[in-house]
Amino acid sequence: MIDWSVTPETRLAVGGVSLEYACHGPPPGQGPTFVLLHEGLGSVALWRDVPAALAARTGLGVFAYSRHGYGRSDPARLPRPLDYMTREAKAVLGPLMDAAGLGDVILLGHSDGATIVGEYAGSVSDQRVRGLVLIAPHFFVEPKGIAAIRAAGTAFASGDLRARLAPYHDDVDGAFRGWHDAWTDPSFAEWNVADVIEYWRIPALVVQGTEDAYGSLAQVDEIAARAYSPVETLILEGCGHTPHLEQTEATLEAVQDFAARLLRLERAHVALA
């Protein structure tokens, strides 16, 4: 069990790797805990004020961590395997929650993090997981997404993207190259993990911006077509790839309402049991 009163840059050992984490709100045992999984270039710090705001609005605990190779976590060996998101879901997330002493959780992921959330829910049996929040998820490759990633590669090499990311990652080159080079590898063009959606057995909230350069509403349509469990959607007009930062109020309100409904269902179930 970790010390829940800590601040960012505290680390937790998982599988021989030291991972940065941060906690907000009440500790486990007082209700479900949100577990935040960041995007392909994200980290604990790049969630900005969202974790604290989420804890304040919902009254639930929030646990955010930087994946191996990101933020203040240990650097990762490159190149990343092309199935790095599947490996995170199957080999890291569960042991991380064990090490942190988490009980019931709501998994909330953005972009790559949303994919990991979806893969975990569809491939790992874990009754701690009470709900899923997927922000700008992707389960298959879209040409527009690859074009956006290649453009990011140009901005990193000759623009200001490297300088903007450098304060948030101890190994900024490793963080960027691990993400960029996996997605732009020719073998990644056939990547598709959408079959995991069919194995979800818990409610999900999906948030997608209409102007997301990395993915389209086709990702949301795929979830709707494949899911057997309840799925709610929030489509944000004029919003890009980061709804929680671009349209924070609408996104947090939807997450707050979703969590409140989950809690009501849980309490009703307990009362009937």
CATH of the domain at 54: 3.40.50.1820
Q: Flag whether 3 is in a domain.
A: no
Strand ranges of the sheet holding 105-110, from the earlier edge strand across to the other edge: 10-14, 17-24, 61-65, 33-37, 105-110, 129-135, 204-209, 231-236
Radius of gyration of the chain (CA): 17
* Domain count across the chain: 1
Answer whether residue 17 is part of any domain: yes
Q: For the whole model, what pTM was predicted? A: 0.96
Q: What is the pLDDT of residue 1?
A: 72
Q: Is residue 52 part of a domain?
A: yes
Range of the domain at 124: 10-272
Cβ within 8 Å of residue 101, ≥6 positions away: 1, 2, 28
- The SS3 of residue 19 is strand
Q: Is residue 4 part of a domain?
A: no
21 bridge partner residues: 10, 65
Query: Is 5 inside any structural domain?
Result: no
Q: Both tokens of residue 135?
A: 């922000």
Please give the chain's pLDDT, 273 residues, in tens: 788 877 666 899 999 999 999 999 999 988 899 999 999 999 999 999 999 999 999 999 999 999 999 999 999 999 999 999 999 999 999 999 999 999 999 999 999 999 999 999 999 999 999 999 999 999 999 999 999 999 999 999 999 999 999 999 999 999 999 999 999 999 999 999 999 999 999 999 999 999 999 999 999 999 999 999 999 999 999 999 999 999 999 999 999 999 999 998 877 765 444
